[in-house]
Structure 1
Amino acid sequence: MQKKENLFLNQLKVYERGINNIDDYAVDRYLVNVKNQVIGRPRHGNENFFPEYYVLPIDKSLQKNPLEAYRMIEYLIRNGVTVERSTEAVSTASKTYPAGSFIINMHQAKHSIANMVLYDGINVSDYASVAGEIVQDFPVLRGFERDVVRETGVFAGKTSLVTSVSIPATPMPNDSAYVLILNTNNDAIKTVNELLKSGKVVTMLSKSGTGYEAGDFAVAYDDLNPLASKYYLDVTAFGNNKPVGKVLKPSTVAALGESAYVLKNLGFKVTDDQQHADVLVNTFDSDKLVEKGKPYIAYGNMGMGNVKNCIPQFAFAGPTWERYEGVFLANVKQDNVITAPYDNEEYFYTVTGSYITKLPKAAKILATISNKENFFKAGWWPGHDAARGKIMAFTYIENKKNITVFSNDLTNGAHSRQQFRLLANSIFNAVPSKS
């Protein structure tokens, strides 16, 4: 109480630094490595740790997931960050942003909040332990594009203030009996599950073609049109010919805790009754059902441990108790409906630091951890170099068994939305087609 005025003045000083976008080098002495050597903020050769702007484009030519970009803007506004929107096209040194792009001008009182959730993060793997999870990195974990702009004043006078944002309805194509739903966001999964529950026909395309990937969905225009205002989808005309692929059916998934929470929100019917489920996700004591042919999807260290005895010659490595966390680059196979909707290279997330070291011949690899020297982006994962080039995910179908395995953690904290489709696609792929 006696220092109340100083407390308020200190807070105002923090806000003043934000308004002037000041990177105070005086804080560097508090940022040390495990040897207690001062390393300061990770400026990567820039004079200022903070950029001039963060840009979240919405145009499809620059943004792979507009839905999550809109949700990020909602998050920022809700937390008191000032957001603007460009009123004309603006060119920087690297690209041109069309009018309508979201702009976070880092000259504002709460620039540190914006920076915390939008920047890449740091690697603190030299420490023997940390107190908890440190990765924010919303662009990677939510799966949207955000750009860093360091050119001073490039958007000055070319924006308007955004006080609220509405996610638009899906723009439906014209003159097409069938519509293609690109499997690029979680609303696509929710839409598919709602259509299936109402008895509509949904086809998961089994092969890639011009303008679409294996794992995308084709539905009748008349079935999708009533849902266009409820979900934000990436759709295009698919023509009048009946789509070829796997006709999906509603499925019941056995899952617990965090997995159950995520799957329910994606529109799946979830149960704790393994016997009467169509597919199992990270459930315990499931060996007998798996041996009889019940599809199983495992992820993370715990999930892999649950199915280890069901897959001959299967081995993986990783900590037993520690929660090694990190964002890492992966090479993603494009010939499977589970992974084809993702890019050839994607950043994924783990909270157990596990990787696969050995597989049977019958296994089909879905993704591998990149072998690039800088594959690890941020987090706390001591010894992560051992994971370089190792297997991240695979399917195993042999002797009635149908198992899909991911070494990384797909649903941690329900934050890693970018990975939810890996789980949903695995369920669609594992359950037999509708007869």
Structure 2
Amino acid sequence: MILKSEATKAFTVDGKTYPKGTYLVQMDQAKAGLANTMLWDGEDISNDTTAMYDISAWSLPELWGFEAVETSSPVDVTAKLVNQVIVQGTVTGKGPYMIPNSSVKAIELVNNLLKQGVEVSRSESGDFYTAAPANKISAAVKESGLQIGSAANVPGDAVEVSSLQVAILKDGGMGKVQSHSGTKLALKRLGFEVTEVTPVEVAEKGLDGFDVFVYSGTESLIATNLNAANKEYGFQNADQLTAFQGNVNSFVDNGGKYIAVGAGASRATKTLGLTDIVTNTAGSNSNGIVKVNYEGTGLTAGYDQEDLGFVYRPAWYTVTGNDEVAATLANSDDFFVAGHWRTNKLPAKGQAVIVKEDKKDVTLIGLEAGFRDHTDYLFRLLSNAIFEE
């Protein structure tokens, strides 16, 4: 176990004051190397080796969304050893109450309230509001561990949201992996009701009863020339692809929301006729942490204009027409922060990575927002895409 402690009062190090409750990780312990691996920013190792077998950037602060400050100065503060973190949420004030779009727990709380029949609205800035009395939301807030307070008022641009039924295309095991599973787990942690549907099920039954359809996985899920090892997970004939395409397009035409996550799903979206956006990709063994410029509202609410993302088989878009570009890779040569991306990197500089179609509810996310249930900080890109009108 990595030893960590919690400050029992505020303290100052290197001229900066940190509040009570700040966690401390000493680097003179037996597992200091493991702690450093988890808390370190990482580095670009693209020129150190020709290829990587798997993930090559694993920074918890950057991918889980918290600040880790390294210091060589003495830390003079009383602290208690931490073995388990237990928090209880509280509601303060008389309402209306604001739930900031700042964490996975916040979105899970919103979804739990919606399931209980509590009315919730969402502003353009991405924050959520409810005028429900404190005693109606206190149990859910307590379980969430969040501190929820009153807002001066509900913004005029706030729109009521509802509990939504989400379907995700199931990869039963193509190439001995389930390429959809990380995004599925991310959606569940965000509190959404998620149902897996296979390609054949969508072809035969359509998407009736669902509000959102998420494609997050290999484009082979809609292929018709699968080998024997993969054929059981996909279409058995070309007619099924035709039926699948028709049912998905009908779903979107009738007000359904379609979200593609990652390179494979984005390419499949064009094959299905849902977009004319071109998906560009780097090698399948390229992955890592990137600098991203988010718009910071709507689809990317809750993120800074200069922030971070994660890519695996990096994907970026050539956009046509009036489609909305909600996020781009930073337009600088150092946009790649940590990991391995050896070929076809500079063409991606400054290019779009989150795009929404102008005339239909189709969103493409080139970042791996739900990668292996690990990129916790990016999960809210999924909930933004689901809740955004």
Instruction: Give the 5 Å matches for 1:111-260.
Output: 111-126=32-47, 127-151=49-73, 154-156=74-76, 158-176=77-95, 178-206=96-124, 214-219=125-130, 220-222=132-134, 223-233=136-146, 235-239=148-152, 244-255=157-168, 256=170, 257-258=180-181, 259-260=183-184
Sequence identity percentage: 26
Amino acid at match of 1:141: L
* Higher mean C-alpha deviation, range 404-413 or range 83-92: 83-92
Does 2:340 correspond to 1:380?
A: yes
Give me the whole-angstrom Cα distance separating, in 2, the residues matched to 1:407 and 1:131. Answer: 21
Instruction: Give the 5 Å matches for 1:401-412.
Output: 401-412=360-371
- Contact 1:331 1:345 (8 Å CA) reproduced: yes
Amino acid at match of 1:218: Y
1:399-432 Cα deviation digits (max 9, x unpaired) = xx211111111111100011111001111125xx
1:70-100 Cα deviation digits (max 9, x unpaired) = xxxxxxxxxx111122244332225112233
Mark the CA change 1:234 to 1:373 in structure 2 (over 3 Å): closer, same or farther.
farther
Once the two structures are TM-superposed, the CA of residue 217 in structure 1 deviates from its matched residue by 0.4
Paired residue total: 335
Once the two structures are TM-superposed, the CA of residue 179 in structure 1 deviates from its matched residue by 0.2
The TM-score normalised by the length of structure 1 is 0.72
Give me the whole-angstrom Cα distance separating, in 2, the residues matched to 1:181 and 1:202. Answer: 10
Instruction: Give the 5 Å matches for 1:78-93.
Output: 80-93=1-14
Structure 2's unaligned 5+ residue stretches are 171-179, 223-243
Once the two structures are TM-superposed, the CA of residue 243 in structure 1 deviates from its matched residue by 6.5
Structure 1's unaligned 5+ residue stretches are 1-79, 207-213, 431-435
In the alignment, which residue of structure 1 is the partner of 2:211? Answer: 278
Mark the CA change 1:234 to 1:353 in structure 2 (over 3 Å): closer, same or farther.
farther
Mark the CA change 1:99 to 1:264 in structure 2 (over 3 Å): closer, same or farther.
closer
Q: Which has the higher contact order (CA 8 A, sep 6+)?
A: 2
Secondary structure of 2:149's aligned partner: strand
In the alignment, which residue of structure 2 is the partner of 1:325? Answer: 287
Give me the whole-angstrom Cα distance separating, in 2, the residues matched to 1:94 and 1:318. Answer: 44
Q: What's the RMSD between the two structures over aligned residues?
A: 2.1
The TM-score normalised by the length of structure 2 is 0.80
Give me the whole-angstrom Cα distance separating, in 1, the residues matched to 2:122 and 2:211. Answer: 18
Amino acid at match of 2:58: Q
Once the two structures are TM-superposed, the CA of residue 290 in structure 1 deviates from its matched residue by 4.4
* Higher mean C-alpha deviation, range 308-317 or range 94-103: 308-317
Secondary structure of 1:367's aligned partner: strand
Give me the whole-angstrom Cα distance separating, in 1, the residues matched to 2:334 and 2:108. Answer: 35
Give me the whole-angstrom Cα distance separating, in 2, the residues matched to 1:234 and 1:382. Answer: 44
In the alignment, which residue of structure 1 is the partner of 2:314? Answer: 353
Once the two structures are TM-superposed, the CA of residue 239 in structure 1 deviates from its matched residue by 4.0
Once the two structures are TM-superposed, the CA of residue 236 in structure 1 deviates from its matched residue by 2.9
Amino acid at match of 2:207: Q
Instruction: Give the 5 Å matches for 1:296-375.
Output: 296-309=258-271, 310-311=273-274, 313-319=276-282, 322-334=284-296, 336-356=297-317, 358-375=318-335
Mark the CA change 1:365 to 1:175 in structure 2 (over 3 Å): closer, same or farther.
same
Secondary structure of 2:28's aligned partner: coil
2:352 paired residue among 391, 398, 405: 391
In the alignment, which residue of structure 2 is the partner of 1:42? Answer: none
Amino acid at match of 1:387: A
1:199-248 Cα deviation digits (max 9, x unpaired) = 21110113xxxxxxx11100124332221210033533124669652211
Mark the CA change 1:314 to 1:234 in structure 2 (over 3 Å): closer, same or farther.
farther
Mark the CA change 1:319 to 1:244 in structure 2 (over 3 Å): closer, same or farther.
closer
Give me the whole-angstrom Cα distance separating, in 1, the residues matched to 2:120 and 2:274. Answer: 32
Mark the CA change 1:115 to 1:243 in structure 2 (over 3 Å): closer, same or farther.
same
Secondary structure of 2:143's aligned partner: coil
Mark the CA change 1:241 to 1:343 in structure 2 (over 3 Å): closer, same or farther.
closer
Mark the CA change 1:96 to 1:137 in structure 2 (over 3 Å): closer, same or farther.
same
Once the two structures are TM-superposed, the CA of residue 136 in structure 1 deviates from its matched residue by 1.2
Secondary structure of 1:393's aligned partner: strand
Give me the whole-angstrom Cα distance separating, in 1, the residues matched to 2:305 and 2:133. Answer: 30
Once the two structures are TM-superposed, the CA of residue 311 in structure 1 deviates from its matched residue by 4.8
